[in-house]
Amino acid sequence: MASTSNSLKALDNFINNEHIQPTAGKYFDTFEPSRGRPHAQIPDSTKADVELAYQAASKAFPGWSKTSRAERAKILYRIADLIESRLDEFAQAESKDQGKPVELARTVDIPRAAHNFRFFAGRILHSVEEAGDLAGIGFNYTQRMPIGVVGLISPWNLPLYLLTWKIAPCIACGNTAVCKPSEFTSLTAYLLCSVLKEAGLPAGVVNMVFGTGMGAGQAIVEHPRIPVISFTGGTVTGAKIIANSAQHFKKLSLELGGKNANIVFADCDFEQALTTSLRSSFANQGEICLCGSRIFVERPIYEKFLERLVQGAKNLKVGDPTKKETNLGALVSKEHWEKVLSYVELGKQEGGKIECGGQKPTDLPDDFKDGYFLEPTIISGLTPSCRVMREEIFGPVVTIYAFDTEDEVIALTNDSEYGLSCSVWTENGRRARRVAQSIEAGYVWVNTWMARDLRMPFGGMKKSGLGREGGDHSLDFYSELKTICLAD
């Protein structure tokens, strides 16, 4: 893309602990979703910029990989402290860049980013490898080895949260990184660069290359000497990454799309299920891969649950993301907003009833009239075969459907190409266990949602991804386990 207005703040790439302009000198506008106008310029980085970042990371790898775990952990703890000391600055930047409410960024996104560094700092200090005696022959032990330069590609929905989920274990294990944040949400990644430098992270350990997926992202994936790729994003892009990296036999971790079920049985704690279902449907404008976008409700309580869910959705405040009382901000871009609206129209064409929402709020303040806002939307009356019931929308749009039996809802839930997460609401412990075991998803919550334990494996089944991260699973991914046999 060509360079645009010089009146906007231009971000630069962060390579070898220095901010440098993209080699081609080109930038493009990034928009503030809540106001629908450009607020900064992003480097339109190319293969040449990725190569510069790779060279810096490659040069830094020998020293960083030999740095003691204690020293690495010390720097990661310092990074966490610095992020927390700039909580408000990061939260406001995240909101301005992504569209989410500032309060959500302040209470969830930014604290979690700091926690990612703190968690993996502690993890490497307390992890141990395996050892065993091979009687009469020798002694075996394993050694966790850093791999090298890792490519980290993060999404736009939880920008700092998910970028640090990758950076923290990557560098904790002794690797160096070439990172590519989403072109829609680069601001907090840019702020993070100054934190990394202030924390004393050696030059070249983490390099930030900004740009598009087709430009910088593809160059990282195809780079012949970047052996590991961690990607969070869409399933279509994930398939391209698999294809483009196959010739190099790269190690991949892919967290991809989801069309998650939220199963509500008649014997649930009704108020708890209702309150949490509102949150799991519309948190972050529905732009969370774990949102429960297919709500299945057992028929005896269906009408009551639908009525209360609609009432709750209508009470949610959509608008100015800087206001503490705001529940939903703006969708990330005009293109995505238009895509989500097209699914609302498709829902009507497929015979669905728009129970609430489905349009832009009419009471927005003048400064936000051009923002990409959408009311929380509930659609009933669709059959399970409808596209709106099957395709990932990734916005504040959910479907609701009545079911009669346990076997029926399990079949409905599993009849999907996705398998990321699921929530189950029931006070029957045996049923909870049966259903949870039967669901084809990487994460099943019972009587809760988004309760994350970073020690546990996280990842999807089917087209929702490849691999698992979290706890030792992250350490396994970002390292190579070597077995060494010492003869007697």
Tens of pLDDT, residue by residue over 266-318, are 999 999 999 999 999 999 999 999 999 999 999 999 999 999 999 999 999 99
Q: Are residues 139 and 249 in the same domain?
A: yes
Q: Is residue 1 part of a domain?
A: no
The CATH number of the domain holding residue 401 is: 3.40.309.10
Q: Is residue 243 part of a domain?
A: yes
pLDDT-based confidence at residue 133 (cuts at 50, 70, 90): confident
Q: Are residues 55 and 171 in the same domain?
A: yes
Checking if the pLDDT of 114 tops 70, the result is: yes
Q: Are residues 374 and 357 in the same domain?
A: yes
By the 8 A CB rule, do 383 and 353 touch? no
Q: Are residues 148 and 119 in the same domain?
A: yes
Q: Are residues 217 and 105 in the same domain?
A: yes
Strand, helix or coil at 178? Answer: strand
* Residue 433, CA distances (Å) to 286, 426, 438, 446, 453 in order: 28, 10, 9, 9, 19
| pLDDT at res. 198 | 97
Tens of pLDDT, residue by residue over 162-177, are 999 999 999 999 999 9
Q: In whole angstroms, what is the distance from residue 116 CA to residue 93 CA?
A: 19
Q: Is residue 4 part of a domain?
A: no
Q: Is residue 2 part of a domain?
A: no
The CATH number of the domain holding residue 483 is: 3.40.605.10
Q: Are residues 275 and 398 in the same domain?
A: yes
pLDDT-based confidence at residue 5 (cuts at 50, 70, 90): very low
Q: Is residue 332 part of a domain?
A: yes
| pLDDT at res. 3 | 39
- Print the domain residue range for 309: 261-453
Q: Are residues 348 and 215 in the same domain?
A: no
pLDDT-based confidence at residue 25 (cuts at 50, 70, 90): very high
Supply the residues annotated as catalytic.
Answer: 255
| pLDDT at res. 6 | 57
H helix runs in 350-478, sequence order: 387-390, 406-414, 429-438, 472-477
Q: Are residues 150 and 297 in the same domain?
A: no
By the 8 A CB rule, do 152 and 166 touch? yes
Q: Are residues 296 and 205 in the same domain?
A: no
CA-based nearest residue to 293, from 219, 376, 363? 376
Q: Is residue 459 part of a domain?
A: no
Checking if the pLDDT of 376 tops 60, the result is: yes
Determine the average pLDDT of the residues in 47-61.
98
pLDDT-based confidence at residue 436 (cuts at 50, 70, 90): very high
Q: Are residues 185 and 250 in the same domain?
A: yes
CA-based nearest residue to 375, from 312, 436, 453, 448? 312
Q: Are residues 268 and 384 in the same domain?
A: yes
Q: Are residues 415 and 320 in the same domain?
A: yes
Average pLDDT, the chain: 95
Checking if the pLDDT of 7 tops 80, the result is: no
| pLDDT at res. 224 | 95
Checking if the pLDDT of 2 tops 70, the result is: no
Number of structural domains (the chain) is 2
Q: Is residue 430 part of a domain?
A: yes
pLDDT-based confidence at residue 4 (cuts at 50, 70, 90): very low
Q: Is residue 334 part of a domain?
A: yes
Q: In whole angstroms, what is the distance from residue 191 CA to residue 426 CA?
A: 43
